[in-house]
Amino acid sequence: MLAIDGYTRTCGLIGNPVEHTLSPVIHNTLAELTGQKLCYVPFHVETGRLEDAVKGAYALNLLGMNVTVPYKSEVIPFLKDIDPLAQKIGAVNTLVRIKDGYKGYNTDMPGLYRAMCADGVRIEGEKVLILGAGGVARAVAVLLAEKGAAEILILNRTLDKAKQVAAEVNQLAGRALATAMANAEHTDLPEREKYLVIQATSVGMHPRDDEVVIEDEAFYERVHTGYDLIFNPAQTRFMKMVQAHGGRAYNGAKMLLYQGVIAYEYWTDTQITDAQAMKVFEIMQNR
């Protein structure tokens, strides 16, 4: 570990809770690998103290911050500037120090894209089905629109919520790209059509390991690739069902890795190599 002294810059994570985060593993390992004098620590910010935390971080000369639940949208009014992608998504997870404050970025979705590229999963020209219609699903839909998906289907337990996300994405895209469906309507999908499916709900997350959004085995016949944004457990039931029907399946661990890598690149103006990223990934897996 690099020695901490008066030249060491500090970055950190603000959220509630933050006690079980893997972010210090990512950033402190990157600092070692790149020889940067940087130290990363988590900060538990109580409800109602977010503005104080952002102002305090700037006053203490912190180089940058990550933001996690429940503050990814709530932090936006306290920023000096915001990146256009983060503005479209409506969520910020990375703060970069600029003059008189912080600029907000969303590295979650670029992190997902970089992870998918690393896994050999393409978006351009693909018909993509998203399970869920929450904030994460909306962000995924925006990313898909930006990266040239041919069609986006949003499946959700509550149809109205899926319709709202589809309408917002279509407005951003300037065309009818996204369609909303209720989960039960998956039986209406064309039988011979195959989809890239992104699982963007918390269903199946530990300790609910045995749960899955859609139980029907026939649904998984329509999945050529399944991407579950959950990373604990490493093998979700969704992934197992995709694989059982001949599809490829991935979890969200590399998304977690690359959102951190991109944030680190913003803070330090460095480019992390694939070899360095995979070294961090190995350490994350061990933890």
Active-site residue set:
72
Distance CA 118, CA 274 (A): 9
Note whether 287 and 22 are within 8 A (CB). yes
Instruction: Count Cβ atoms below 10 Å from residue 163 Cβ, excluding itself.
Output: 18
List helix spans (H) across 16-158: 23-34, 50-59, 84-89, 108-118, 135-146
Closest C-alpha among 272, 219, 209 to residue 242: 219
Bridging pattern class, strands 81-82 and 94-98? unpaired
Distance CA 53, CA 222 (A): 46
Note whether 224 and 196 are within 8 A (CB). yes
Eight-class DSSP state of 215: -
Note whether 185 and 155 are within 8 A (CB). yes
Eight-class DSSP state of 194: -
